[in-house]
C-alpha cells in the first residue's frame, strides 16, 4: 500500500480510479518484463558459460578447474589420456552448476543496473512534477 499511496496520494479524487488502474498496469507489466529478462539471462547465458568453461578445461586452464571445484592436478592428469565418458559424467555437473551461478550473477548485475538507472532518473521525475504544478 505505501507505494500506491505515494504514487496516488497527491491526485484529486476524480483521477484516482484511472491513475490506480494505470499504476497497476505498469506495475504488472514491469514485473512481467523483469521476469522475462531474468529468464532470458539465466537460460540464455548458462549454455554459453558452460561451453566457455568446457573449452577452457580442454585447453588445460587450471583457473577454470579451480572455478568449478575440480582439483587442478586431476585436470592435468586427465588431459594426458583420452577423455572417458566417466570423466565427462564426473565434470558435467560441476560445469553446469558453475555456469548457472555465473548466469545468476549476471542477472543480479542487470537488476542492479536497472535499479541504478531508475535511481538516477528520480530527480528528473521530481522536476517534471514540480513544473506541472505551476
Model confidence pLDDT, tens digit, residues 26-67: 889 989 999 999 999 999 999 999 999 999 999 989 999 999
Whole-number pLDDT of residue 91: 94
Asked if residue 78 is part of any domain, the answer here is: yes
60, containing H or E segment: none
Domain range enclosing 85: 16-133
Asked if residue 64 is part of any domain, the answer here is: yes
Asked if residue 88 is part of any domain, the answer here is: yes
43, containing H or E segment: helix 13-58
Asked if residue 124 is part of any domain, the answer here is: yes
Dist. CA 39–CA 103, nearest whole Å: 10
Q: pTM score, two decimals?
A: 0.76
Determine contact, residues 42/95, Cβ cutoff 8 Å: no
Band the pLDDT of 83: cuts 50, 70, 90.
confident
Asked if residue 6 is part of any domain, the answer here is: no
The total number of structural domains in the chain stands at 1
Asked if residue 5 is part of any domain, the answer here is: no
Asked if residue 112 is part of any domain, the answer here is: yes
Amino acid at each position: 500500500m505505501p507505494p500506491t499511496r505515494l504514487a496516488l496520494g497527491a491526485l484529486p479524487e476524480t483521477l484516482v480510479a484511472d491513475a490506480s488502474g494505470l499504476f497497476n498496469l505498469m506495475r504488472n507489466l514491469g514485473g512481467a518484463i523483469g521476469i522475462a529478462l531474468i529468464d532470458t539471462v539465466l537460460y540464455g547465458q548458462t549454455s554459453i558459460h558452460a561451453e566457455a568453461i568446457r573449452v577452457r578445461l580442454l585447453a588445460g586452464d587450471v583457473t577454470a578447474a579451480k572455478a568449478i571445484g575440480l582439483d587442478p592436478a586431476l585436470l592435468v592428469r586427465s588431459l594426458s589420456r583420452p577423455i572417458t565418458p566417466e570423466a565427462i559424467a564426473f565434470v558435467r555437473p560441476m560445469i553446469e552448476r558453475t555456469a548457472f551461478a555465473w548466469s545468476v550473477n549476471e542477472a543480479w548485475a542487470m537488476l542492479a543496473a536497472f535499479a541504478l538507472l531508475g535511481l538516477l532518473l528520480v530527480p528528473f521525475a521530481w522536476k517534471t512534477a514540480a513544473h506541472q504544478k505551476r
